[in-house]
Structures are given as structure tokens and as C-alpha cells.
Structure 1
Amino acid sequence: MKVAVYTYSSPESLRIRKLIMQGLTEYKIEYDENRPDIVITIGGDGTLLSAFNKYESQLSTIRFIGIHTGHLGFYTDWRNFEVDDLIRSLKDGAGQSVSYPLLDMTAKFSDGQILHKIALNESTVKNVTKTMVGDVYVNHELFERFRGDGLCISTPTGSTAYNKAVGGAILDPHIIGFQLAEMASLNNRVFRTLGSPTIFGSDNILTLRLREESSIVLTCDRQQWVLDQKKHHLVELTYQVSDKKIRFAKYRHTNFWQRVRDSFIGGM
């Protein structure tokens, strides 16, 4: 087994990293940042998202473990006082894992350039200066013309993040699919959209074709691109379930709905 550690730069996270490195040495577990079998992230969900982005090309061979050193993280199972238990679990584990679906995003530009990304949480597209106008296609057939602030396309696990904030539904990750949620859509007697969150199955393709706009902001998890549509026109966005998945080491992986309850409801 080879382990890598990806750390947030706070003093507490760096302290925990030092303890983990000592534990790896004590238990004779190999450290390898280039081709690890397990990536331990120390910080919060943002740290795990950054590690996911770094090791995106190796998702089929990597399992992630998250240690949170601040507020309770949605993807982080271990606390900062459980380092010894975690190291022992690494030594004694049998390679168990639990996997979650990801979102595949392809952006096409008028000059022929193509941007391809994978999202753990969501991708968003919005206009920062005026109403965004775009045609929504489902399986290459026109579904609606959207007018509003923007759109959020999320994974099942990402349904608890920005998607929830804009009124989307929480989606069980055992359902292999993705979700479309509207941001401040215009709905009146002239302009109409469906106006509710929409969940797509694993065999569906969602396409967004945008009109000429002054400025578009495109995101994929923590990555962001501010696009001047007159200079670098984003013509089309395509979304579907990725053929890749993220895997978490199942030494002690918290049930999804327990995470939802702990994060949004708390103790009763």
C-alpha cells in the first residue's frame, strides 16, 4: 500500500499531517505522492475537492480518506484526534471502498477549443451582468428556453451543496444520475421554464446552447472560468454521468443519509 497526504495550510492541519507522517513511518507504510493507492486529505471538503482535482486521472486506482480539522465536513469521516485509529485501520484494512457517481462536463467554444472536466459536486453556468438565455436540450431534443441568472448541474453527493442552496432536491447517491436546478428563472405569461429541479438518469445527455452574452461564469467544483462571450464565445455545454467514479476507503465511512442529518438537522 502506498499513501499520499494532501493538506490544507492551517496550523492544525499541518500538525495532523506531521502525526500522520510519523504514524506511516512507524507502521512501515510507504509514502508516494505520485502513484498512491490511498490519498488522505486533511482540512475540509474544499481540501478533498482540491485533492480530487489533482488525482483526477488516477481515480480508478485511488481511494480517498478525509480528516476534518475545522467544521464538520460532508466528505470527511475522521476527526483530528483519531490519527492513531486511522493509521491502524490503514495497516489492517482489506481494501474495502464505497463509490459515488461523478459528472462529466464538456464545453465547446466557437474557435474550436474544447474543455473537458469531471465534477464531484457540481458545475454551474451563469451571467454576471444580465439575464442568461440558453436553450436546454435533453437527449439532443429541445426541451425549453431558459431565462434567468443561471443553471446548476450537480451529482447526487453534490446535491447537498450549491444545488440545495438554489432549491434543488437532495438525491440519494445510489441513484446513478445527475440534477438540473434553476437559479432565479424568469417565469411569467411571456417566458416559461419548467421551474422545478429535474433529475436525469444515467443514460441521459443534457445540452445547453447559449446565446451571445456579455459575460459568462462557468464553474466545475472549485475551478472557475470568466468568459467574455464576444472574444471567447462558449457555444455549448454537454453534461452526462461520467464513466469514472470516486472511491472512499471504507474503514469507517459514514452513511449518506446520516451525513445529511448531521449536517442539516443535527441532534434531536
Structure 2
Amino acid sequence: MADERRNLYLFYKQEDEVLRKVEPLIAFAENYGFKIVDDHKKANIIASIGGDGAFLQAVRKTGFREDCLYVGVSTGELGFYCDFKIDDHQGMISAMDNDQVEVRKYPTLAVSMDHDDSTFYCLNECSIRSSIIKTFAMDVFIDDLYFETFRGDGMIVSTPTGSTAYNKSVTGAVVDPKLQCYQVSEMASLNNNLYRTLGSSFILSNERKLTFKFEQDNNQYPIIGIDNEALSIRHSEVIRFELSDRKVKTVKLKDNSFWHKVRRSFL
């Protein structure tokens, strides 16, 4: 790796326990020729320290950059986004020296709302649910086709990499990240003579667009979850989804594929 590509930014919580683990990592990185920078905009490599949640935050807080590499470094058990343990310096050296690492590109979900020109990106999922103990209703459109009217606790729209997270907890399918698609899963749908839904998760290709239109009379307090952050959508009437062209590039071990992680985590 050329010198100009060795600017490293570390993303971590400013907590004593984490700081004690980060200091040796900084020394190791500097000894191995990396330059630690304090501005993520100057970095070519962004390393999150913690777990999968820290990785999601690192990607979000640094703007889902496509011109750098993201690395997940775990302070505990290895996760879906973390291939390296913070105290295993020898393992990191061995992986780099023996060409055991590769770059993988993960898809992101683009989310936009009617009252805002901004587009939000998700690496895992976007969830819409009520903030009070009450169901709410919304019409579901696939492209321009009215598909169903959902009433229940909420919906989860997930990327393939996010399929093992919140989506799996509501019995959604686990999806190979090499597929260019996204998944829609229900949370406690109400099915009766007035409301009827598919009743199962469904998967859309990257060429499809998904739209939720809210019935405002019954939607006083919906909340939208963008990965592991929450936003209020109290005054929104329409939310649109599509698989984005934006990819997050991550450094991964060649012998630790997505399906290795699925087996290790669940079987």
C-alpha cells in the first residue's frame, strides 16, 4: 500500500476501558507505517473500534464514504462487520503480509421522505414503527403498483448484510450480500376483513422502488430507525426506498465469508 494510502482514522468511544485498548493499537499501527489522523476527511482507511454497532456508527458519522476503506476491529466477540480483534496484532500482521485480506463492497439502502430533500443511507436496515402501544396503517407500493395496506406494529426494510440483524428477529430470510436486492418484513401485522397483507417477507431487486404512504389519521407518533439511530417522522406522509448505487468498501479476511459468520453466529 502506497504511503499516501496509509492515513488511518480511528472511530471509538471516549471511554477509559476503550482508550486502554486503543493505545497499543495506535502504537502498532504507527510502527507498521500507518499515519493516525484526527480528521476522518483526511483518512484513506477508517477503523471502528467496538462491535458491529460501532461499525455502523463509524460509517454513518463519516458519511458513507466511497473513497476509503472501512475496517471493523472488535473489542469483544467478532461480529458480522468486525473481522479483527483489537489485541491480536500478530494476526493482523500475518493477514496483511500473507495476502489474507480482500476488499468487499456492501450495498446500502437509500431512504427519502416527502417533507425533506435529504436522502438517508442505511447499511443494515430502515425500520418504521409506532412509538406508542398502538398499531398504525400505511399503503405499500412496489414501483407504481399498489400492493397492500399494512396495519400493525411496523415494517423493516433491510439490505442483504442487514438481513441477519433486526430482520432475522422477525423471521425474515437471511440473504447473500452478493445479491443486489433488499427485503421487506412485517412486524405483527393485523390481518382481518379490513386489512390484508402478504403475511411474509418479500425480496425486491435493485431495479424496484418501494413506497410507504401513511394514513395520517392513525399515525400520530411513528418513528423511523436508520440502522441504530432513530428519527421522528410525525409529519411525513410518504417514505421511499431503493437500493443505492453507493457501496461501502470494507477490508475482510478471505477465509471469513458472510456464510462463515452466519454459521458461527447462529449454528
Q: Identify whether the pair has TM-score above 0.5, normalized to the shorter chain.
A: yes
Give the corresponding residue for 2:43.
36
C-alpha separation in 2, matches of 1:127 and 1:114: 23
Aligned positions of 1:1-268 closer than 5 A: 1-32=6-37, 33-58=40-65, 60-87=66-93, 89=95, 96-109=102-115, 113-129=116-132, 130-212=134-216, 213-227=219-233, 229=234, 233-252=235-254, 254-265=256-267
C-alpha separation in 2, matches of 1:76 and 1:122: 18
Are the counterparts in 2 of residues 105 and 117 from structure 1 also a CA contact under 8 Å? yes
The one-character-per-residue Cα deviations of 1:210-250 (angstroms, maximum 9, x if unpaired) are 111111111111221134x3xxx111111111111111114
Give the corresponding residue for 2:3.
none
C-alpha separation in 2, matches of 1:12 and 1:176: 39
Size of the aligned set, in residue pairs, is 257
The one-character-per-residue Cα deviations of 1:66-92 (angstroms, maximum 9, x if unpaired) are 111123322111123312432565578
C-alpha separation in 1, matches of 2:41 and 2:89: 23
Where does the alignment leave 5 or more consecutive residues of structure 2 unmatched?
Answer: 1-5
C-alpha separation in 2, matches of 1:116 and 1:139: 18
- Relative to structure 1, the CA distance from residue 164 to residue 54 in structure 2 (aligned partners, 3 Å threshold; closer, same or farther) is same
Are the counterparts in 2 of residues 207 and 238 from structure 1 also a CA contact under 8 Å? yes
Q: Normalising to structure 1: TM-score of the pair?
A: 0.89
Runs of 4+ in 1 over 6 A off after TM superposition: 91-95
Q: Give the AA of the match of 1:83.
A: H
Percent of aligned pairs with the same amino acid: 32
State the superposition RMSD in angstroms: 2.1
Q: Normalising to structure 2: TM-score of the pair?
A: 0.89
